[in-house]
Amino acid sequence: MAFKIDVQNLNLFYGEKQALFNVSLGLPASQTTALIGPSGCGKSSFLRCLNRMNDVVPNLHLEGKVLLDGKDIYDPSVDVVDLRSHVGMVFQKPNPFPRSIYENVAYGPRIHRLFKDKSALDQIVEKSLTRAGLWDEVKDRLQQAATRLSGGQQQRLCIARAIAVNPKVILMDEPCSALDPIATAKIEELIDELREKFTLVIVTHNLQQAARISQKTAFFHSGYLVEAGETGELFTTPKDERTQGYITGRYG
């Protein structure tokens, strides 16, 4: 099977400190891959390598390859701005812009000039909000400040904002950790629907969630990728005893 993103022998250093050790992981297209592991094991670090959000970190050093559709995203010829329009990101804490709901979703298409006229932009906004399952809740108040939405609505708005630029891959770093169970359920449902169209990578501390929404799971431990495989298999018959220990709750 061809991987949408293929990470090969990735080593990541924050200054002297090595955060990732020789990680190789393939992310299949149109599937959700869950990254799990104890706190501080390098899940976020790994995720941020996939759209070069790490670029802003001073003293960061990286070895290895991250291939998106076969092309190394750390190649000097690659434009980060272009890359990020193909690999979107949703963060742990909802972070809408302090603008209107409409402007939040329209921002990405605006900076990448993805539309011809106002009505085309309106369509992108409506489609993205509908996909994110938020349209019915906000269609009558698109000009209202996004910061006045509830936490769960804000997170769905952030997802709508990310899909508005029509990326190939969406990275999510614990997108539900600030949300209540109902909002979480909505986002999980949404992730399941989005999988058709996008390749999803999601970091989560919630193992049930990983089991519910992902097709592939990767278990990280202190900077090493311990085990990766089909979600059902990994949870029922883990090969490594560290994985076994983590998913049975012996440590974490």
Partner 1 sequence: MTSNLRKRHRQEKWFQRMGLFSLCLALLFLGIIFGKILITGLPAFFKTEIEAKSAPQHLLNPYAQYVDQGKWTAASDAVDMYYKNGYPGTLSPQDSQSIEALKSQNKIRLSFNGAFFTHSDSSAPEMAGIWGALLGSLLTLLITFLTAFPIGIGAAIYLEEFAPKNSHIYWIEATINNLAAVPSILFGLLGLLAFIHFIGLPRPSALVGGLTLGLMSLPVIVVTTRASLSAVPFALKEAALGLGATPLQVLFHHVIPSALPGITTGVILSLARALGETAPLLMIGMVAFIATPPSSFLDPATVLPVQIFNWSRSPEMGFVENTSGAILVLLLILGLLNGLALFIRKKFETHHGF
Question: What does the binding site for Mg ion look like in residue numbers (CB under 5 A)?
Answer: 44
User: Interface with partner 1 includes 56 (CB under 8 A)?
Assistant: yes
Phi, psi of 96 (to 5 degrees): -65, 155
For the chain, what percentages of helix, strand and coil (3-state, to nearest 5) are there? Answer: 40, 25, 35
Residue 162 token pair: 């990310």
Judge whether 83 and 68 are in contact, CB under 8 Å: yes
Spatial distance between the Cα atoms of 104 and 101, rounded to a whole number of angstroms? 5
User: Interface with partner 1 includes 228 (CB under 8 A)?
Assistant: no
Judge whether 34 and 230 are in contact, CB under 8 Å: no
Q: How many residues bind partner 1 (CB under 8 A)?
A: 31
User: Interface with partner 1 includes 58 (CB under 8 A)?
Assistant: yes
Residue 120 token pair: 């085309």
DSSP 8-class letter at 173:
E
User: Interface with partner 1 includes 111 (CB under 8 A)?
Assistant: yes
Q: Which stretches of the chain bind ligand ATP, using CB under 6 A? A: 14, 17, 19, 37, 39-45, 57
Which CB atom, from 106 or from 172, has the smaller least distance to Mg ion? 172
What is the rounded end-to-end Cα distance, in angstroms, of the chain?
32
Map the footprint of partner 1 across residues 12-51, applying CB under 8 A: 51
161 binds, among partner 1, ligand ATP, Mg ion, none (CB under 5 to 8 A by kind): partner 1
Minimum separation from the CB atom of position 98 to partner 1 (A): 4
Rounded to 10 degrees, the C-alpha dihedral 149/152/156/158 comes to: 70
Angle between helices 151-163 and 118-131 (to 10 degrees): 130
User: Interface with partner 1 includes 107 (CB under 8 A)?
Assistant: yes
145 binds, among partner 1, Mg ion, ligand ATP, none (CB under 5 to 8 A by kind): partner 1
Minimum separation from the CB atom of position 239 to ligand ATP (A): 21
Minimum separation from the CB atom of position 95 to partner 1 (A): 4
Spatial distance between the Cα atoms of 25 and 111, rounded to a whole number of angstroms? 32
User: Interface with partner 1 includes 84 (CB under 8 A)?
Assistant: yes
Minimum separation from the CB atom of position 47 to ligand ATP (A): 8
Q: Which residue, among 56, 44, 20, has the nearest Cα to 173 in the 3D structure?
A: 44
Which CB atom, from 14 or from 97, has the smaller least distance to ligand ATP? 14
Which CB atom, from 156 or from 242, has the smaller least distance to partner 1? 156
Q: Interface residues with partner 1 (CB under 8 A)?
A: 51, 53, 56, 58, 80-85, 88-89, 91, 93, 95-100, 103, 107-108, 111-112, 145, 147, 158, 161-162, 165
